[in-house]
C-alpha cells in the first residue's frame, strides 16, 4: 500500500470513479473540490494501481488539514472497490486506513477530517493516536414505497403537510435560483460573527443544478416564498444542505417540501437514500427523526502533533446550524 500526494487534475474521470465507488459522495466531486479551491489529494495505490484517494482541505501553509463538517459534511478517503467477502473487506479497508494514518502523521502537524457513514471502522486511526468524535446523521431509504415512507412520518408532520396543501402551496423546482435566497440560508453565521458564505452557497447551488447533481425546491404562493430547501446528490444519496422558512407563515412549508422532494428524488432522479446531514442539536434531531429517519453514525477524526489538549477542548463544541 502506497500513499502519494498529487494534484486533483492527476485523476482521470474522477467524478465517474466516485459514482462507481464504494463510498464516494458528492463532496468529493472534482467540481466541488474546485469550488473549495482544493487542488491537493492523496492517491492511494496498491500494486501500482490507484484504488482510492483522499481530498485535502489544507490551511495556507499546507501543514494542517482543517475540514469543517459545518461546511463540508463528509471528507476522508474515497475507496473505489472493496472485496465482497466481509472479513476481507474489513482487512482491506484497515490496510488503507493504516497507510493513510502513517502518511498523515508524518506530513501534517494538525489534522481534522470526517469519514462518510460507510466507513464506520476507524480502528487504525485510533490505534495511531487520532481522537474520534462521534457524530450522527439521519437517513431515509427511498427504495421503500412512497406511501410507506409517508406512513412513517410523525402525526405533527402529517398535519403540517395537510395544512400546506389546504393553503394551496405550490411545489416549485427553482432551477434558476430565482426564489431561493443564499443569504437566508446562512443567517445562522451572523450569530457567531462568522464571515458570510452566501456568495459561495449561491455559486454552489447553481453549480449543482448545472451538473444535474442538485436542485433548489421552493414552496410558494404566487411569488411569495413560504419555505425553501437546497439538496445536492451523488449517484445514490441526496443530502439536505440548506433550508429556511418564512416564520410569518407557519403553514408546514418545510414538512410539505420534504415530502414532495422525497417523491421527486425517488421517482425522477432515482435516488436511493436521503441524508438529512444531521445536527447534534436535540431539537433538530427530533425534527429529522419525525420523518421516520433512521440513525447513521460517522466520525470526525482529530490529531495534533504538539497539543492533544487542544483537541479535547474543542470536542463537542457545536454551533447552532
Over the stretch 267-321, which tens digit does the pLDDT of each residue have?
999 999 999 986 667 888 899 999 999 999 999 999 998 766 776 666 655 444 3
CA distance 227 to 206: 18
- Tracing cell 445536527 back to the chain, one arrives at 279
CA distance 262 to 255: 11
Domain co-membership, 43 together with 72: yes
148-184: per-residue pLDDT in tens?
999 999 999 999 999 999 999 999 999 999 999 999 9
Residue 2 has pLDDT above 60, yes or no: yes
Strands 170-173 and 214-221: antiparallel
Question: Residue 80, exposed/middle/buried by CB under 10 A (0-12, 13-18, 19+)?
Answer: middle
247-262: per-residue pLDDT in tens?
888 899 999 999 999 9
In a domain, 85, yes or no: yes
Domain co-membership, 207 together with 156: yes
Residue 191 has pLDDT above 70, yes or no: yes
What pLDDT is recorded for position 280?
Answer: 67
**Mean pLDDT throughout 105-123?**
95
194-238: per-residue pLDDT in tens?
899 999 999 999 999 999 999 999 999 999 999 999 999 999 999
In a domain, 285, yes or no: no
CB 275 within 8 A of CB 238: yes
Q: What is the domain range of residue 41?
A: 2-134+297-314
Domain co-membership, 265 together with 303: no
Domain co-membership, 156 together with 93: no
Domain co-membership, 27 together with 65: yes
In a domain, 276, yes or no: no
Domain co-membership, 177 together with 89: no
Number of domains the chain is built from: 2
Domain co-membership, 7 together with 94: yes
Report the half-sphere exposure of 285 (CA within 13 A, side-chain side).
11
Amino acid at each position: 500500500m502506497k500513499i502519494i500526494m498529487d494534484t486533483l487534475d492527476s485523476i482521470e474521470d474522477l467524478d465517474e470513479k466516485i459514482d462507481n465507488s464504494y463510498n464516494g459522495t458528492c463532496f468529493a466531486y472534482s467540481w466541488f473540490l474546485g469550488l473549495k479551491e482544493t487542488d491537493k489529494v492523496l492517491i492511494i495505490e496498491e500494486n501500482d494501481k490507484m484504488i482510492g484517494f483522499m481530498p485535502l482541505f489544507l490551511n495556507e501553509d499546507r501543514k494542517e488539514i482543517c475540514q469543517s463538517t459545518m461546511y463540508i459534511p463528509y471528507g476522508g478517503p474515497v475507496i473505489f472497490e472493496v472485496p465482497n467477502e466481509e472479513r476481507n473487506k474489513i482487512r482491506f479497508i484497515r490496510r488503507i486506513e493504516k497507510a493513510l494514518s502513517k502518511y498523515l502523521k508524518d506530513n501534517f502537524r494538525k489534522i481534522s477530517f470526517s469519514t462518510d457513514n460507510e466507513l464506520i471502522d476507524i480502528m487504525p486511526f485510533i490505534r495511531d493516536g487520532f481522537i474520534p468524535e462521534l457524530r450522527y446523521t439521519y437517513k431515509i431509504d427511498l427504495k421503500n414505497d412512497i406511501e410507506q415512507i409517508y406512513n412513517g412520518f410523525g402525526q405533527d408532520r402529517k398535519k403540517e403537510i395537510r395544512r400546506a396543501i389546504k393553503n394551496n402551496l405550490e411545489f416549485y423546482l427553482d432551477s434558476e435560483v430565482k426564489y431561493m435566497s443564499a443569504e437566508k440560508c446562512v443567517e445562522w453565521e451572523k450569530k457567531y460573527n462568522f464571515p458570510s458564505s452566501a456568495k459561495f452557497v449561491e455559486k454552489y447551488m447553481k453549480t449543482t443544478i448545472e451538473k444535474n447533481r442538485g436542485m433548489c425546491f421552493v414552496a410558494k404562493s404566487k411569488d411569495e416564498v413560504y419555505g425553501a430547501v437546497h439538496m445536492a446528490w451523488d449517484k445514490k444519496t441526496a443530502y439536505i444542505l440548506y433550508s429556511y422558512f418564512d416564520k410569518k407563515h407557519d403553514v408546514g412549508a418545510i414538512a410539505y417540501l420534504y415530502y414532495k422532494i422525497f417523491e421527486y428524488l425517488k421517482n425522477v432522479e432515482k435516488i436511493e437514500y436521503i441524508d438529512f446531514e444531521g445536527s447534534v442539536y436535540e431539537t433538530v434531531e427530533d425534527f429529522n427523526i419525525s420523518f421516520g429517519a433512521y440513525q447513521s453514525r460517522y466520525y470526525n477524526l482529530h490529531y495534533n502533533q504538539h497539543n492533544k489538549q487542544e483537541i479535547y477542548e474543542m470536542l463537542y463544541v457545536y454551533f447552532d446550524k
